[in-house]
Amino acid sequence: MKDNQYEGLIIKWNKMLHKVVAFGGEVGKLIIEPPASEAEVSEIEDSLGFNLPFHFREVILKFSKHLELRWHLPENANLPQEFKEISSGEIREQNLEVLKGYDKSLVLRKVLEKVEGVDDCQKEIFYKIIGNALGDSAVDWVRSLWANPINVSPIYRSYLTAKCLPMEEGLSKVITYVEGQFTDEVNDHIAKEHLCHFRSYKVVDWIKGYIPRGTAKHNWYSLYASSEPTWDQIKEWLELGDKYRMVTINALEYMIQSWMSTYSYIKGQYRITNPPNKEEIISTLEKMRNQEILNTKKRIYTMIIEEIDCIL
């Protein structure tokens, strides 16, 4: 059963095609296959090695896994001036099976060819294609970026390293680079920018030694959040003292906001790694809340407790 929004879209398409025919144009058959099943989508995602974009996934699960629509107006059609350049149209949404067979090495080669002649904004888009869609197929190329660092900016290199290299290898390379940037004082901004894409609780252990020397809480707690800490790490940090506790609580709040906020700078949909049962988490947080004196801090605990399901 299709959602009402899609039923309305089908009605509009059919009306448009009838009008094209009445105008003397040509149309192709409107093909709308049934939606995909969760099992089909999961199989495709497993073969690709990454999740399909949320909205695309929603369309193929709720509307159709294969769609075709084509129309063409006659060459002598008398159109208003603003529509002179629009004489034909086509929607061809390939069957999901096509996604299984694409050649990742060929895609990488084509993307790298495009990267050479574009600005930094466009480069970021191409690098995200490599990181999200190609992954370990780009391992050799990403390793070459560490041998020849002038080929790409350090920020993009760290992102690609997190996405494409094995975790231990990639994390070691980026941590070594980040620590090399610390001179007179710890630069928590650099740490966050280079390590946030790993989404690994192992980053939390690395952060631990720098908290006493940190100069800006925001960067530490956003990095802590994006590293998806384990529950054991969270419990440990809550008991380590005020500075660690506030980083942890702010990080948990940030993790919840990553699911609920509409602001683009808060994103990621972070979760606690290996959480215990919900009752244990709430019990611990309630205990910590009761130890607080300031109402502002108590309210943060309360919010986390009420929205804890988001990050489990």
pLDDT top residue among 202 and 25: 202
Prediction pTM value: 0.68
Dihedral over alpha carbons 271, 274, 279, 284 (to 10 degrees): -80
Question: Which residues lie below 8 Å from residue 240, measured CB to CB, with a gap of 6+?
Answer: none
pLDDT band at 1 (very low <50, low <70, confident <90, very high): very low
Round to whole Å and give the CA distance between 218 and 200. Answer: 18
At residue 88, the 3 state secondary structure works out as: strand
Q: Report the chain's mean pLDDT, rounded to a whole number.
A: 84
With a pLDDT cut of 70, the percent of the chain lying above it is: 84
Q: Does the structure show a pLDDT above 70 at 265?
A: no
With a pLDDT cut of 90, the percent of the chain lying above it is: 38
> 211, 220 in Cβ contact below 8 A?
yes
pLDDT top residue among 117 and 240: 240
pLDDT in tens, 99-111: 556 677 887 888 8
Q: Identify the CA nearest to 234 among candidates 272, 195, 290, 287.
A: 272
Cα→Cα distances 156→121, 128, 193, 308, Å: 11, 9, 10, 33
Q: Does the structure show a pLDDT above 60 at 94?
A: no
Long-range contacts of 132-136 (CB under 8 A, 24+ apart): 132/50, 132/163, 133/48, 133/50, 133/104, 133/107, 134/104, 134/107, 134/108, 134/164, 135/49, 135/50, 135/163, 135/164, 136/49, 136/164, 136/165, 136/166
Average pLDDT over residues 221-235: 95
Q: Does the structure show a pLDDT above 80 at 29?
A: yes
> 97, 47 in Cβ contact below 8 A?
no
Which residue bears the tokens 């695309």?
A: 56
Q: Identify the CA nearest to 267 among candidates 279, 278, 255, 277.
A: 255
Q: Does the structure show a pLDDT above 50 at 269?
A: yes
**Model pLDDT, residue 92:** 63
**Model pLDDT, residue 264:** 46
